[in-house]
């Protein structure tokens, strides 16, 4: 082989290697994406299927039902347009309650959202109970 064809073969091998690496990286990235949906979006079919998604909204007042003697809990998440029933087994965060903002991670099955994780959201005025009164509120926040 002449030097020019060796150089060309080397460039082709490098380009194929870089292309393969980029393809594998993008494929891995796509598989690990986690989409965030509202109850209205789930109600119209977005996010349905076996893919894990996050559902965000507010816990509907009076919708929390706990199974006695177990960690099973059912509640309804709403965006004030549509609502989605959620089923979760596990320990709930301390901030979880009626009317509280939540983000749940899981998937939709038979019209119900099966949650693997529940995250409770709080506003900027939140302060742990043991710190209340000890630390002044942030600037612009009134008591």
So what's the pLDDT on residue 87? 95
**pLDDT tens, 4-37?**
888 888 888 889 898 998 888 888 777 666 778 8
3-state SS record for the chain = CCHHHHHHHHHHHHHHHHHHHHHHHHHHHHHCCCEEECHHHHHCCCCCCCCCEEEEEEECCCCCEECCCCCEEEEEEECCCCEEEEEEECCCCCCCCCCCEEEEEEEEECCEEEEEEEEECCCCCCCCHHHCCCCCCCCCCCC
Residues 6+ apart with CB under 8 A from 41: 47
Query: Given phi > 0 = left and psi -120 to 50 = alpha, else beta, which region is 69?
Result: left
Buried b (16+ CB within 10 A) or exposed e, 41-54: bbbeeebbeeeebb
Q: How confident is the model at residue 72 (pLDDT cuts 50, 70, 90)?
A: very high
**pLDDT tens, 73-100?**
999 998 888 889 999 999 888 888 888 8
105 pLDDT above the threshold of 60: yes
So what's the pLDDT on residue 121? 76
Return the CATH architecture of domain 35-120. Beta Barrel (2.40)
Average pLDDT over residues 37-58: 80
Distance CA 90, CA 106 (A): 13
So what's the pLDDT on residue 42? 83
Average pLDDT over residues 52-81: 90
Structure token digits, residue 49: 């299927």
So what's the pLDDT on residue 85? 92
């Amino acid at each position: 082989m002449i030097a020019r064809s060796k150089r060309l073969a080397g460039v082709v091998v490098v380009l194929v290697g870089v292309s393969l690496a980029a393809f594998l990286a993008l494929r891995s990235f796509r598989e690990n994406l986690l989409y965030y949906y509202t109850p209205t979006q789930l109600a119209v079919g977005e996010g349905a299927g076996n893919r894990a998604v996050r559902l965000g909204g507010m816990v509907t007042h009076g919708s929390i039902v706990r199974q006695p003697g177990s960690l099973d809990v059912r509640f309804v998440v709403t965006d004030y347009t549509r609502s989605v029933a959620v089923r979760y087994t596990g320990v709930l965060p301390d901030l979880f309650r009626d009317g509280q903002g939540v983000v749940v991670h899981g998937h939709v099955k038979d019209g119900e959202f099966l949650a693997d994780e529940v995250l409770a959201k709080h506003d900027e005025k939140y302060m742990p109970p043991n710190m209340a009164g000890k630390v002044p509120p942030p600037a612009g926040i009134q008591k």
